[in-house]
Structure 1
């Protein structure tokens, strides 16, 4: 297991090939894996999935450790996502979030691709981001309390 100095766990847990300092996503865009709960949450209540992802991301970024409870679903981020979803522009929030996750893990891509992904497949984007965070969280060795 590789721990990166400055906080955080293994940011390339699947040891994917790195080219020019960047790598691909650890899981495909349409890869729910065996986490059906996460997929259902992302499809049925994307604001809750988004809130939890933001909570986990912020905790990893600020504390260098996984969120102790698996992330807060009902939060300001969740409310903002719900409001922007009602206006049809939640993809803009998700585009920013996807870019931040991509940056944390040195994943190849750019803003245009992020926007297209979040606009065309909101739930799949949420699942992919969550899975990326979970890989780092699991690299700490303890049980991750992610609840869906």
Structure 2
């Protein structure tokens, strides 16, 4: 079952095929992070910032059907929470898995909690960059209208 989009909204800008469950692949591969070197560098050294930006951009798209006016909130509560969880308990990855799952759900991308966990554990910056690029594709498609 393919998701129906409203005018001006395209959650699959590359028109990737959906499987019989209505799911598709990521628009960019996990190791394609070189296409967004800036995002990947920030995700490597300051994952709390990338987490917060991705989350706020995705939530803003869901609520307003347009890109976040400032490109995402990077220094708010979500960033602080991620930084604290990572610094004091080493559990920031739990938030990353949750955010990746929410992104997969928004874009009808194949996978489950286990695949999200593996992506985050194998290469957190790559996973965060992949999520950012997926969100960016929708943002770009909305700016054309």
The answer, yes or no, to whether TM exceeds 0.5 is yes
1:98 aligned to which of 71, 86, 100: 100
Cα distance in structure 2, aligned partners of 1:8 and 1:125: 27
Supply the distance in 1 between the matched residues of 2:28 and 2:109 (Cα, whole angstroms): 12
Higher helix share: 2
- Across the two proteins, how many residue pairs are aligned to each other? 139
Q: Residue 145 of structure 1 corresponds to which residue in structure 2?
A: none
CA distance in 2 between partners of 1:96 and 1:30 (Å): 20
Counterpart of 2:73? 72
1:91 offset after TM fit, Å? 1.0
Structure 1: where are the runs of 5+ without partners? 143-148
Question: How high is the TM-score relative to the length of structure 2?
Answer: 0.90
Match of 1:114 in 2: 116
Ranges of 4+ aligned residues in structure 1 off by more than 4 Å: none
Give the conservation status (yes or no) of the 8 Å contact 1:51–1:74: yes
Ranges in structure 2 where 5+ consecutive residues have no aligned partner: none
Shift of 1:122: 1.0
Task: Provide the rounded CA distance (Å) in 1 between the counterparts of 2:120 and 2:91.
Answer: 10
Listed as ranges, the matches of 1:1-148 within 5 Å are 4-5=5-6, 9-20=9-20, 21-86=22-87, 87-141=89-143
Q: Give TM-score, length-normalised by structure 1.
A: 0.88
Query: Residue 66 of structure 1: SS of its match in structure 2?
Result: coil
Instruction: Please give the root-mean-square deviation of Cα atoms over the aligned residues, in Å.
Output: 1.5
Give me the whole-angstrom Cα distance separating, in 2, the residues matched to 1:8 and 1:47: 31
Distance 2:23 2:109 in 1: 5
Q: In structure 1, what is the Cα distance between the partners aligned to 2:129 and 2:44?
A: 9
